[in-house]
Structure 1
Amino acid sequence: MRDTRESRLLLVLLVSIAFALITMDIRGGDDSPLDGPREAAASFFGPVEEGVAGAVDPFANAIAAVRDSGDRHDRISELERENAELRQELGSDAHRESRIAQLDELLQTAGAGRYGIVGAQVIAIGAGQGFSWTVTIDAGSEDGLARDMTVLNGDGLVGRVTTVAKGTATVLLANDPGFTVGTRLEGSEELGFATGRGDNTLEVQLLNQRAEVEKGDRMVTFGSADNKPFVPGVPVGEVVGVERSNGDLTRTVQVRPYAAFTQLDLVGVVVDPPRDNPRDSVLPERPEDAERRAAENDAEAEEEGAEEGEANEEQGAGDEGAADDFPEPDGLAPPDEDEGGDEGEDGGQGTEFGALAPGRERDSTASRS
């Protein structure tokens, strides 16, 4: 459109009309003469605006979503990071509690057998030096470790030290086929030799082919000369199978070890053997023995409570008797029946006042004479 004189005049005219209408609307206030045309225009253009908005909103929302996607992605990443941190914290707490429980059991076992130990953690597992079942621990010669030392945990025998470096050591596990340890059966004292089988059982050859053994019997280490490689009294395992004696010189039994070789974490290396053989004292308490002991403790507690209750009752009865025997104060005790307790001449009862007026009887006698 060319910039002509007519177009400029038209523009000035339109601006003047708009200014006049605005001035008229402002001065009219609530009674503006333009309210009617305004409502008519709103009723006409309102549906048009809604239709246009409905058609445009999806595109506007898409543009807003694209614009806000970066912020949302950052928020999602932040929430995922916080979730991972919480999971790690919960996992750390559970792991810490597990380590505390393992350490407590290890110290209890070492204390029961009077074993001086150096604590260590399993840091690697795998075959080594021709053996199939070995682990590496984070303690070595600088911690006082040497070859042929007994390794145990809170459950029982783990193995023996085979090689030692400055800060690490290799432990041959008891379930390795090349592992052998002397054993002693609980109670009967029957001796034997336990050998690993590469799984979670040990095979024990009892020296006495007629040894009486059954499932549930327990074994401990017999011990070695100079306590190397094994100290005595370390729990080995529980009998789970007994083979029939076929005339062999030995009797074979299968033993399930107490230690879980696939779940090793904290272990202890015995650097100071006990002075005396602990024999069976390190074995864990049987469940039935624990239940019986708990029942006995409950019975003793009930008996002590009953005796204490009877003693309290007797003490209460004694206190009541002592209160009854408490002497009355002088001058307040009631007189005997033959002292001032008879009726007076006036027919009144003299018992109540006899003790308070001891001269009354003399006065009455004098008056009679």
Structure 2
Amino acid sequence: MRDTRESRLLLVLLVVIAFALITVDIRGGEESPVDGARRAAATVFGPVENSVASAVDPVGNAIGAVRDSGERHNRIAALERENAALKTRLGSDDRNRSRVRELDNLLRKAGAGQYGIKAAEVVAIGSAQGFSWTVTIDAGAGDGIKRDMTVINGDGLVGRVTTVGPSTSTVLLANDPDFTVGTRMEKTDELGFATGQGDRPLSVQFLNGKARIKPGDRLVTFGSQADKPFVAGVPVGEVVRVDPSGGELTKNVFVRPYASFSKLDVVGVVVQAPRTDPRDTVLPPKPKPEPTVTVTVTPTPTAGPSGGPSTAPNAQPQDPAVRDENDQADQPAANDPAGDE
């Protein structure tokens, strides 16, 4: 429609009529003359409104769902972060408890052998090139660490220091093929040399080829001159197998080390050797065998074929004097008239 004077007058007239109808409808209430027209319009346009509403509502719900999902996502993300933090803290607490136990065992070993130690933590493992078994610890020259010092943990011998830096050191583990340590057998004092074999038990060659060795025998370090590289009395391991010599001068003895080289964490470098050889005092106590319960069954006497008691292993022979008195009591007296009859 073109913007003319007539169109403007028509627009004003329509607005006035609309206001007049609204006023009449409001004042008339339920008896409003416009009520019939309103009902007719509702009948015609109601289905259209329902169709439009049914088409629009899912979109509105989806928008609300997206908005709510964003809020839920933020809550879920916050809960996930909190859960991860709790898991990290719990894991850290478990690790700390484990390290406290290891440190406690280490201090007990050092106290039993009177070793002066410097505690350290394993911070890296060496490469597998050349089948070398080494670890790096966070203690070096600044901590008093020197080359060829004995390294132990709460279980026993770990290795020896080979390289020392300002704040770190490299330790050659006892299961390395290039590692050899002098050993002494518990109680019998048989001497030998243990050599590492990687993830297999240590191989020990005893100086006495006729030494009596059996599984379960335990070994400690024999010690070196000036206590380098090994101090005496450190638990090495337990014999698990003894092979015949097969024409050789010595037996092939295999020893399971006490230390678990794949689970090293807290270790101690012996910076001061004991004044006297601790001998076997650092070895863990042997487990006590469980008592054996013996049950003894004593047979009871049973009736024999003639109705009398049968001979049983536990039957005691009757005293002859008692047996004679019983026989005399059963026989009639010599002057008894009933006996004469």
TM-score of Structure 1 vs Structure 2, range by shorter chain: 0.7 to 0.9
Structure 1: state its 5+ residue gaps.
293-369
Matched, 1:143 2:143: yes
Matched, 1:117 2:117: yes
User: Paired residues, what number?
Assistant: 291
Q: Please, which moves more after superposition, 150-159 or 43-52?
A: 43-52
Distance in 1, Cα, partners of 2:180 & 2:136: 19
Alignment correspondent of 2:214: 214
Larger relative helix fraction: 1
Q: Please, which moves more after superposition, 51-60 or 251-260?
A: 51-60
Distance in 1, Cα, partners of 2:36 & 2:22: 15
Q: Secondary structure at the match of 1:50?
A: helix
Alignment correspondent of 1:174: 174
Distance in 1, Cα, partners of 2:103 & 2:32: 90
Q: How far 1:237 sits from its partner (Å)? A: 1.2
Alignment correspondent of 2:276: 276
Map 1:201-280 → 2, pairs under 5 A: 201-280=201-280
Deviations 1:299-349 (A, max 9, x none): xxxxxxxxxxxxxxxxxxxxxxxxxxxxxxxxxxxxxxxxxxxxxxxxxxx
Q: How far 1:133 sits from its partner (Å)? A: 1.3
Matched, 1:96 2:96: yes
Matched, 1:164 2:164: yes
Instruction: Say if 1:128 and 1:17 are closer, same or farther in 2 by CA, change over 3 A.
Output: closer
Identical counterparts, % of pairs? 68
Distance in 1, Cα, partners of 2:129 & 2:160: 14
Q: Please, which moves more after superposition, 207-216 or 144-153?
A: 207-216
Q: How far 1:151 sits from its partner (Å)? A: 0.2
Alignment correspondent of 2:285: 285
Amino acid at match of 1:272: Q
Instruction: Say if 1:83 and 1:39 are closer, same or farther in 2 by CA, change over 3 A.
Output: farther
Q: CA RMSD in A?
A: 3.0
Distance in 2, Cα, partners of 1:202 & 1:89: 39
Alignment correspondent of 2:52: 52
Distance in 2, Cα, partners of 1:280 & 1:147: 26
TM-score normalised to structure 2 length: 0.75
Instruction: Say if 1:245 and 1:74 are closer, same or farther in 2 by CA, change over 3 A.
Output: same
Q: Please, which moves more after superposition, 265-274 or 36-45?
A: 36-45
Q: How far 1:213 sits from its partner (Å)? A: 2.3
Q: Secondary structure at the match of 2:133?
A: strand
Structure 2: state its 5+ residue gaps.
292-341
Amino acid at match of 1:92: S
Q: Secondary structure at the match of 2:125?
A: strand
The answer as to whether partners of 1:131 and 1:172 remain within 8 angstroms in 2 is: no
The answer as to whether partners of 1:110 and 1:116 remain within 8 angstroms in 2 is: yes
Q: Secondary structure at the match of 1:142?
A: helix
Q: Secondary structure at the match of 2:109?
A: helix
Deviations 1:20-72 (A, max 9, x none): 23223333456655555545544543332221122234444556667778767
Distance in 2, Cα, partners of 1:128 & 1:231: 28
Instruction: Say if 1:232 and 1:60 are closer, same or farther in 2 by CA, change over 3 A.
Output: same
TM-score normalised to structure 1 length: 0.69
Distance in 1, Cα, partners of 2:35 & 2:218: 104
Q: Secondary structure at the match of 1:231?
A: coil
Q: Secondary structure at the match of 2:208?
A: coil
Q: How far 1:7 sits from its partner (Å)? A: 3.2
Distance in 2, Cα, partners of 1:187 & 1:33: 122
Alignment correspondent of 2:191: 191
